[in-house]
Amino acid sequence: MLVPNPVVGFQGLVSRAADSPQSKPPMTSKQAQKLHKLATRQPRLSKAEQRRFERDEQERIRNEFDKEKQASKARVARDKKKAKEQQAVEHKRKNGLPLVDVRPSQDTIARFVRGNGLGRKRDS
């Protein structure tokens, strides 16, 4: 008759260091619930405090929703503007017009009229 080798992972067969924590048996669901209640317990609130807390929470949720709504509106407006600009560029390209308006700055015009100051002055 064949007997399988014992599994080394059992707690009884594994040697532990002296300072390592000892394992405990699993908790029952009732014990786990009680422990969770103790860990997450908060001080009791009066009815007025509870109402104020809930009102503040609702306000926070409403503000979050409004922010998301505004962001969505802004995104739609940006996309619409971008599409309009793209359409204008396509229209210009179709008609053979320059894609951007190029206008010289006042400084460029003044330098052209005045000259660079290096050469001789022109007769006017």
Summarised one tens digit per residue, pLDDT across range 27-78 is 899 999 999 999 999 888 899 999 999 999 999 999 999 999 999 999 999 9
What local confidence, expressed as pLDDT, does residue 7 receive?
54
User: The whole model's pTM is what?
Assistant: 0.46
Higher pLDDT, 96 or 1: 96
Closest CA to 53 of 43, 61, 64, 45: 45
**pLDDT of amino acid 113:** 80
Instruction: Please identify which residue in the block is written with the tokens 């009680």.
Output: 34
The pLDDT of residue 8 is: 53
Distance separating the N- and C-terminal Cα atoms of the chain: 121
pLDDT (mean) for 90-109: 83
Please tell me which residue, 119 or 79, carries the higher pLDDT value. Answer: 79
Average pLDDT of every residue of the chain: 83
